[in-house]
Amino acid sequence: MPEVVLTGASGRLEGRYAPGKKDNAPIALILHPHPKAGGHMNNPVAVQLYHLFMKRGFAVLRFNFRGVGRSQGEFDSGVGELADAASALDWLQSTNPAASQCWVAGYQFGAWIGMQLLMRRPETDGFISVSPPTNVYDFSFLAPCPASGLILHGSDDQVAAPNEVERVVAKLRTQKGISIAYELVEGANHYWSQHIDDVGERVGAYLDRRLAVDKS
């Protein structure tokens, strides 16, 4: 799990990178929760996502947004953070030019950034969005959403009410050509404090289903 230093729009970005098991291994970018709420790349949910992809042979990168940890710059209300994510994906793609697939996974604020990144990178094959804050940020830019993916949420989320997330899911499901899986974990809160294993089980099972279809 080597440390890497990326070049972002506002300077150095600190990251952790796990190479793929094959030259054409798929790639995955992991995006952490809100920097102003203590979010960083070592958040338990972000680390869980990182390991789920790594165990399945992906080349995986997680990194700190600007102003977090040893990443340079200052918080930019999402605009600069989206640029950081794009820079990180550029690095991941250039490091793995033969990658068979490209995935983006994010938790909370990272889910919002990840979904915006999808819209700018049509080569993305799949996404994982955990606890997307649909009540805080406008997700109407997903028109149309360019890739199929999983949205995972907790029934006891006190930050983003499940009905707000389900409204976005319903809208996405009207689109043709993509499939949106939505799973609500009973009893889980916004921070997954007692349900981190559920993230592993639900996301892992979804990835296995998707990868099995792609191999067939």
The identity of residue 216, as a single letter, is S
Tens-digit pLDDT profile for residues 62-83: 999 999 999 999 999 999 999 9
Q: What is the pLDDT of residue 116?
A: 97
Mean pLDDT of the chain: 96
Tens-digit pLDDT profile for residues 75-130: 999 999 999 999 999 999 999 999 999 999 999 999 999 999 999 999 999 999 99
The identity of residue 49, as a single letter, is L
Task: Provide the residue ranges of all domains of the chain, joining segments of one domain with +.
Answer: 3-215
What's the whole-model pTM score? 0.97
Tens-digit pLDDT profile for residues 142-194: 988 999 999 999 999 999 999 999 999 999 999 999 999 999 999 999 999 99
Distances (CA, A) of 203 to 15, 53, 125, 144, 168: 22, 9, 15, 23, 19
User: Would you say domain 3-215 falls under CATH 3.40.50.1820?
Assistant: yes
